[in-house]
Amino acid sequence: MNNRRDFLKKTALASLGIITSNAIAEEQIQQLEQVGNFALPLSNFELPKLPYAYDGLEPFIDQQTMEIHHSKHHKTYIDNLNKALSVPVEGVTNEDTLETIFSKISKLPVSIRNNGGGHYNHSLFWNLMKSNKDGVINLPTGKLEDAITSVFGSFEEFKKQFTEAALKRFGSGWVWLYQQDGKLKIGSTPNQDNPLMENAEISGKPLLALDVWEHAYYLKYQNKRNEYISNWWNVVNWDAVSQQL
């Protein structure tokens, strides 16, 4: 039994909110040990709990959208990711986490790219939002505020550029505030790609993520992606974004 490795594995999963630290049974760890270099350590992904109720982001994101988005769309990415990793995959080892998988994603099956990205991106997205029933002004503070102001000039200008990137993303994808070589940047990715993926359109560490797939807003906003975005700013959890810095 390699305790350090088990610890790393658990920590990596726990950091994504995927498991609590003891959620992987010792028995499962032992089974994984026996599979050798083509182990299946990542085929146990579970749907993380939301940090709020399905109606917690009302009136900006509606309950039905949240329920379907989380319990159906996100769940499906997880089921398909687990399925893709339920057989030995060349290039995936015991030591891998989603992050290390992303760093070599061009060599892996596209189902791992799409469903691994789907799981990672949604897990992050849920945690970057919080309830704001009263619609009180919701702004970044501290180091994050300073960094945004120094790069974009003002928070309003940052919002404008982020919104433009979200409107410009054709079809399905994600918009990101991310950090590249320590500098804040705005960009977008198609499908379930993210800036951690080798050969993605942008590269860096995700800080803020916005899902612009139609399934994220269609029930309430129909084709009006711009209204979805302008309402979404009300539920951004800037403390959680700051923690990504």
Q: Which residue is nearest to Mn ion (CB)?
A: 211
Do residues 115 and 80 make contact, with C-beta atoms less than 8 angstroms apart? Answer: yes
Closest approach of Cβ 172 to Mn ion, in Å?
Answer: 8
Residue (102 or 213) nearer to Mn ion, CB: 213
Closest approach of Cβ 146 to Mn ion, in Å?
Answer: 31
Which residues, other chains included, contact 131 with Cβ-Cβ below 8 Å and sequence gap of 6+? 52, 56, 57, 235
Chain contacts with Mn ion (rule: CB under 5 A):
211, 213, 216
Residue (210 or 216) nearer to Mn ion, CB: 216
Give the DSSP H or E segment for 205. Answer: strand 205-211
Do residues 35 and 110 make contact, with C-beta atoms less than 8 angstroms apart? Answer: no
Tokens of 216: 């994220």
Residue (148 or 236) nearer to Mn ion, CB: 236
Three-state DSSP string of 152-197 = HCCHHHHHHHHHHHHHHCCCCEEEEEEEECCEEEEEEEECCCCCCC
Checking phi first, is residue 153 left (phi over 0); if not, alpha (psi -120 to 50) or beta? left
Residue (6 or 211) nearer to Mn ion, CB: 211
Closest approach of Cβ 192 to Mn ion, in Å?
Answer: 8
* Among the listed residues 29, 56, 74, the one whose alpha carbon sits nearest the alpha carbon of residue 129: 56
Do residues 195 and 183 make contact, with C-beta atoms less than 8 angstroms apart? Answer: no
| DSSP bridge partners of 189 | 174
Residue (76 or 230) nearer to Mn ion, CB: 76
Closest approach of Cβ 75 to Mn ion, in Å?
Answer: 11
Closest approach of Cβ 51 to Mn ion, in Å?
Answer: 17
Residue (96 or 211) nearer to Mn ion, CB: 211
Closest approach of Cβ 211 to Mn ion, in Å?
Answer: 4
